Structure 1
């Protein structure tokens, strides 16, 4: 849609003037009204306004285009005066206040007054809309607010009748407050998007506390209220109606009662709820009844609507509704005259489905995307980059134009219609009422509908070629000759074996294809799968790995739907199968990682620490119990950990960036788990006022060098009088209380649930190792490291730092650690102790293969030991060596002259290269790396990741050069270690 079109689309306002006979007759009626008005002030006002240019154009346009508004003007001329003199906002607020104050003790009088006010509201809103004074949001919000007020008054009247009959035991002064009754507005009403002559979609529920005292039962009572509510609002009297009321969105239980209990509703949605009902509940809002009961029910429904896993299967389910509408009503193509701008192609419903479907897919993971309003949700999706900014801008403009057109269609005769006139003369008349010349309006409308159709089709309507232009048939029991020829032409050496295995998939011989829908999706995907595999160096071997991948899936529909919606994701998976079979198997077992891959920012630079912390806080804003926190943390952590590791694998991020991200994830999660773990403990055993608690990170966590699959080395430290006791009924000593807290944290971090496991925890570095208490006091921690700790424990302490808990206690712990590390030591004795420990580790795990980068001589362990020796040996003289990160120690050692600049640079490069290669290898392989047997794609991944280390560019084909460089750097590290810690 062109920019000029979008400008026009938001500016339908004053109807075009007309001089036809209909207008002339209306003017005469208007003049007679002014001549015979008993209110002389009003008469003078009406005559004056009729003569004004803009008001005259507006009135003539209404006379020409809307019999309904013409009648409203004749019946309520005072509304025109109020809108002109006081403003539409003031007029509406007065009318809403009148509605809220309506007496409810006389049903007949209430029905009459609601209809009178509705007519006034309809006129005031139309004047503000047609004159261009109000935005779309002001129009729809006002209509929704009046609907809220009308429903609330009608329900209050009905409940009052029940009180007077003795059926309901409630306070007549506030009959709804504790009634247990819930009225939910659905659809446009719930989203404050009600259209001009809209039905209102309602659901009536009641909870267990309804104080019913009759003989029929609570359901019969509330069903009676539902019928009464429909009657009061939609029964047509000489004064008209208030709202047509639709109850068809209610839970479809047997017998279809008009109202059910919240308990029955929850069971229904849990067992039978469908995707279209999830979409409907995005806009659900309580508008009348017992507010606390309604809030509790909607809180329960959030789990039904918002699923933690991305749900791409919902796309086809939601789209099927639209296809059924098109098929039933013949709206499969765009036309202008006679086109339905709501459910026809390119219409309002397609914009709503475009937004709601993507909300269902990703809203469970991002609460910021749960807005009930169509346009706020569209722009939230755009801000989160699930929707392109240009698409959001165009759809916003189209939505506004179509809604403005919809309102004008309904203003004509106050009918719930979205169909443009099919007759040419009627279409021209309506175009002028809508504020544009017929040709201009027609062109603008067509451009708008085509724009919506284009964006909608891009999301929903990718229909694959099931044969990719060639024969690919895998049904029946025998191989099809044409299919075998196609597979052979694709490069498969054994097409019969491939065909047989795919037929086994189709026969449901694997878990992923046991449902009919999964097999249908797989049929659609097969051409793309096979074409993607044909890119691999060894297509037959790649197929075997893909077969392992798909055979290990626990289910197929969700993942196949996801592949169908995102073909590029399938291509990435097939590429990873060739380069990293271990990662592919891990993906098959953890579908949530695919969701992470679809994040719009997945391939962007890794987010900074503050952004990661804020992201988790946002996800956890509704989580309170430890189990909820755990599940959210697992999903979030797995996705962000996978992003960081895969970016190193793909050469998009340096190791140190990924390590910092992985470290921040661990720190953030541990910090997030302490409060709910403490609440759980306090509920069991009471609290310990005045106590302080810190989690100390060591090893790679302490040095911010975490890699994929790293354990977390932790020590739990508390500060409290050991003899103090908690204040609960099952009181514990401080030592016991903090031990329980630490155990609870360990269990939370290591427990395996449906969302997987967070971390493996190692607490053996605590004072006295496995023989010591799981949580140690601050005093005993300091005493142990001052008096008892061995050299290897002091080595570990060089990378220790507080990562969560009380900041004040954390600073005190750092002071203790610094005191230990900065102590003067005998360098010869230290060197012997460090080397002895290194050789002990090498004896147990050592290797002479250069690709065993952790334990080979000159590998990562040796580099870490060297950095620890430099700190313990020289930090007393050079406090600047007191760093937790290994590379930072080497850099500081060069600054003070312990290492040469060249030696320091070589050690840092060796460290970075081996850390990078370790990340790629851990993602790629379960076993050791064999350079001779590894597939070319894996070597390419190693070369790609290594190319960014220290800015060195290694040719993509020079794997031998990479191996030579690795060996040289390991020799440099080994020589440096041997120089400082020489063999005996």
Structure 2
């Protein structure tokens, strides 16, 4: 932490220290450093025979109990814990380190101020000892006469000097020892035979392979079991926690994190008992818990612009392309986890969560696009012509995603007559943009050490799976004018440019608006949509009474009707609510709109909540008490039976409205 180049080739020294940064400043909160520092303190004390009662004679002001080194260890260990995430904490000085730790909320300001005062007093005494002895020493004199001489040098009587020194030493020991010394393991609650069997099996999990992990977990286990005992369904929560522990590849870091932050135990029990899917994600990506104690986890949602700026800054700090992609994955996971936890705990509802997930995806696509383009241009030259735009379709275009959403994307480019790129490895225009599209998809979907960002679906491009992955502007416009089916015009009602050349983006949007105003007036629109609806319902029937997405009167059905209404009305609106409102022009009465909106809002709450709890079909019996309680709170219903009845009512009314709309004559 304190190292700096001070002689010779200073630039080479700086480069060397820069290479050490990831080894010193870990990317995840390094709470295991607390135990390491505590072990070092004990070894120093044992080596120097300092484990007895403190006496003034011969006391070592640097390495002794309550001495300078313990203040330094306290400061540097706190810096190590979070300095990988926050470069502001990487101050080389002890006083500066304490100051920034207090400013960032890692040390109480009053503790930092007191330790600073004690540190300066210790250092002043150390300097006076060295001045008297004209040698580098940290030890007080071993005789009473020598102590009296130092006291006089400090301007105090011997008695006052002794009292003040011992008080300062004791105070340093008190302030630092509570941070370092692990608490003794508490007694846990009595366990049932079945629970005891599950707990006994934990020792065989990968996270508890090492003796160090086992030692930390022995202290942690009683707290975990006490929190489980308070859960609404303790047995259910225990099984969920068991699944979380089984999925952890290692334990020292995360167990140290829990031990240093007991409030996280309550959170992990809450997650494990409510959302097994989120708990599984957490066990594979335990580093996301860093964000919970990083300071801003519980603050208001920052919005797309702030998110994108934050990610751009993080990417700019990483020179290597693949490391940029991994950085983006780590960043997204933390924010994605935050949205899920806020939704799970009722801090936001399904609609706020849906917008937050969409903001996050917008920020990622917007921040990664120039990174991918620059890397591709390095090999094949800049984009020929005017460049390209990336267009979000479906839920991405409408800016409403859930925890498990993929991204529907298409790319449109305008080569402006340029036939080849100009780079080290020139490419013809069509393969250039096709390969650039694939590079962007790979940047989002590739499985890397930090996982993947999103699944990407490009089937909504012109000609679907059969068409090229990137489409020229001329081909795109002519296809939409002359060849596209009605369902492709429906998809265009939700299209939104996410990244790329601003002028080209404006042109694409202007074309979209003009096309919708003209194509919605076709005589076969309703009949085409009705035919499409029949095929969709045959291919994707509802699975159970709690199905939110597929089936008559459910999400896809309502969205289809809303898109049809927007197309017929020639409206540029993308969101379902605004498309339904625009449908007044297309013959949707106020009561029709109310029926569709009632169904949509309930179904979205159910769908968004369900995707947070499980990746599979929603089966209430398998959700567990916590999951059921979450969905009932989200939908505002007192019981599962009440929710079932309300679903049947609203979907029935919506189905009747949709069927009537499809049957109207042009």
TM-score of the superposition, structure 1-length normalised?
A: 0.62
Partner of residue 636, structure 1: 331
- Which of 420, 424, 428 is the matching residue for 1:725? 420
Check conservation: 2:385, 2:417, Cα contact below 8 A: no
Check conservation: 2:304, 2:363, Cα contact below 8 A: no
Q: Describe the SS at the equivalent of 2:91.
A: coil
- Measured on the aligned residues, the alpha-carbon RMSD in Å equals 3.4
Matched, 1:285 2:4: yes
CA deviation map 1:482-509 (0-9, x unaligned): xxxx32xxxx2xx1x5444544443xx3
Check conservation: 1:650, 1:945, Cα contact below 8 A: no
Equivalents in 2 of 1:830, 1:705: separation in Å?
Answer: 26
Equivalents in 1 of 2:53, 2:580: separation in Å?
Answer: 69
Q: Describe the SS at the equivalent of 1:696.
A: strand
Partner of residue 661, structure 2: 980
Equivalents in 2 of 1:439, 1:967: separation in Å?
Answer: 85
- Which of 384, 392, 397 is the matching residue for 1:697? 392
Partner of residue 10, structure 1: none
Matched, 1:317 2:12: no
Partner of residue 319, structure 2: 624
Q: Describe the SS at the equivalent of 1:804.
A: strand
Q: Describe the SS at the equivalent of 1:822.
A: helix
Shift of 1:906: 6.2
Structure showing greater relative contact order (alpha-carbon pairs closer than 8 Å, 6 or more residues apart): 2
Check conservation: 2:308, 2:366, Cα contact below 8 A: no
Q: Describe the SS at the equivalent of 2:6.
A: strand
Equivalents in 1 of 2:558, 2:112: separation in Å?
Answer: 52
Shift of 1:759: 0.6
Q: Describe the SS at the equivalent of 2:479.
A: helix
Q: Describe the SS at the equivalent of 2:7.
A: strand
Check conservation: 1:847, 1:855, Cα contact below 8 A: yes
- Which of 51, 57, 71 is the matching residue for 1:351? 71
Check conservation: 2:386, 2:501, Cα contact below 8 A: no
Q: Describe the SS at the equivalent of 1:823.
A: helix
Q: Describe the SS at the equivalent of 2:481.
A: helix
Partner of residue 434, structure 2: 739
Matched, 1:939 2:628: yes
Give matches, 1:870-909, under 5 Å: 870-875=565-570, 881-890=571-580, 907-908=596-597
Provide closer, same or farther for how the CA distance between residues 794 and 544 of structure 1 changes in structure 2, counting only shifts above 3 A. Answer: same
CA deviation map 1:743-763 (0-9, x unaligned): 111111111112111110011
Check conservation: 1:334, 1:449, Cα contact below 8 A: no
- Which of 562, 573, 589 is the matching residue for 2:257? 562
- Which of 706, 709, 718 is the matching residue for 2:404? 709
Provide closer, same or farther for how the CA distance between residues 787 and 689 of structure 1 changes in structure 2, counting only shifts above 3 A. Answer: closer
Shift of 1:897: 11
Shift of 1:450: 5.8
Give matches, 1:961-976, under 5 Å: 961-976=642-657
Q: Describe the SS at the equivalent of 2:471.
A: strand
Equivalents in 2 of 1:887, 1:808: separation in Å?
Answer: 29
CA deviation map 1:8-39 (0-9, x unaligned): xxxxxxxxxxxxxxxxxxxxxxxxxxxxxxxx
Matched, 1:840 2:561: no
Shift of 1:324: 1.8
Check conservation: 1:336, 1:442, Cα contact below 8 A: no
Give matches, 1:524-563, under 5 Å: 524-563=219-258
Give matches, 1:946-957, under 5 Å: 946-947=635-636
Partner of residue 278, structure 1: none
Shift of 1:512: 2.5
Matched, 1:367 2:87: yes
Check conservation: 1:722, 1:734, Cα contact below 8 A: no
Partner of residue 815, structure 1: 510
- Which of 581, 584, 588 is the matching residue for 2:283? 588
Equivalents in 2 of 1:440, 1:823: separation in Å?
Answer: 94
Shift of 1:387: 3.9
Q: Which runs of 5+ in 2 are unaligned?
A: none
Check conservation: 1:645, 1:708, Cα contact below 8 A: yes
CA deviation map 1:281-327 (0-9, x unaligned): x2221122123432332222122222223333222112211222233
Q: Describe the SS at the equivalent of 1:652.
A: coil
Partner of residue 217, structure 1: none
Shift of 1:916: 3.1
Provide closer, same or farther for how the CA distance between residues 806 and 441 of structure 1 changes in structure 2, counting only shifts above 3 A. Answer: farther
Check conservation: 1:334, 1:346, Cα contact below 8 A: no
Equivalents in 1 of 2:421, 2:520: separation in Å?
Answer: 43
Partner of residue 295, structure 1: 14
Q: Which runs of 5+ in 1 are unaligned?
A: 1-281, 471-485, 876-880, 948-953
Shift of 1:453: 4.3
Equivalents in 1 of 2:592, 2:127: separation in Å?
Answer: 76
Equivalents in 2 of 1:971, 1:438: separation in Å?
Answer: 91
Check conservation: 1:331, 1:345, Cα contact below 8 A: yes
Partner of residue 659, structure 1: 354
CA deviation map 1:769-819 (0-9, x unaligned): 122211112222222222222221111111111111222221111111111
CA deviation map 1:638-658 (0-9, x unaligned): 110111122111111133333
Equivalents in 1 of 2:230, 2:196: separation in Å?
Answer: 18
Check conservation: 1:685, 1:727, Cα contact below 8 A: yes
Give matches, 1:150-165, under 5 Å: none
CA deviation map 1:179-211 (0-9, x unaligned): xxxxxxxxxxxxxxxxxxxxxxxxxxxxxxxxx
Shift of 1:738: 1.6
Equivalents in 1 of 2:65, 2:529: separation in Å?
Answer: 75
Check conservation: 1:891, 1:904, Cα contact below 8 A: yes
Provide closer, same or farther for how the CA distance between residues 292 and 797 of structure 1 changes in structure 2, counting only shifts above 3 A. Answer: same
Check conservation: 1:718, 1:738, Cα contact below 8 A: yes
Check conservation: 2:184, 2:219, Cα contact below 8 A: yes
Partner of residue 920, structure 1: 609
Check conservation: 1:533, 1:543, Cα contact below 8 A: yes
Equivalents in 2 of 1:712, 1:452: separation in Å?
Answer: 55
Shift of 1:629: 0.5
Deviates more, 1:964-973 or 1:748-757: 964-973
Shift of 1:636: 0.6
Aligned length: 664
Provide closer, same or farther for how the CA distance between residues 770 and 933 of structure 1 changes in structure 2, counting only shifts above 3 A. Answer: closer
Matched, 1:778 2:498: no
Equivalents in 1 of 2:60, 2:440: separation in Å?
Answer: 58
Provide closer, same or farther for how the CA distance between residues 574 and 821 of structure 1 changes in structure 2, counting only shifts above 3 A. Answer: same
Shift of 1:463: 1.5
Shift of 1:628: 1.0
TM-score of the superposition, structure 2-length normalised?
A: 0.89
Partner of residue 369, structure 2: 674
Q: Describe the SS at the equivalent of 2:524.
A: helix
Shift of 1:732: 0.7
Shift of 1:872: 0.9
Provide closer, same or farther for how the CA distance between residues 447 and 917 of structure 1 changes in structure 2, counting only shifts above 3 A. Answer: farther
Equivalents in 2 of 1:811, 1:975: separation in Å?
Answer: 39
Check conservation: 2:568, 2:586, Cα contact below 8 A: no
Deviates more, 1:729-738 or 1:566-575: 566-575
Equivalents in 2 of 1:811, 1:713: separation in Å?
Answer: 20
Check conservation: 1:386, 1:600, Cα contact below 8 A: no
Equivalents in 2 of 1:415, 1:843: separation in Å?
Answer: 91
Check conservation: 2:380, 2:422, Cα contact below 8 A: yes
CA deviation map 1:320-362 (0-9, x unaligned): 1122223334555896845555444444433332332233233
Provide closer, same or farther for how the CA distance between residues 934 and 635 of structure 1 changes in structure 2, counting only shifts above 3 A. Answer: closer
Check conservation: 1:695, 1:714, Cα contact below 8 A: yes
Equivalents in 1 of 2:163, 2:545: separation in Å?
Answer: 70
Equivalents in 2 of 1:379, 1:304: separation in Å?
Answer: 24
Q: Describe the SS at the equivalent of 1:349.
A: helix
Give matches, 1:129-140, under 5 Å: none
Equivalents in 2 of 1:964, 1:441: separation in Å?
Answer: 80
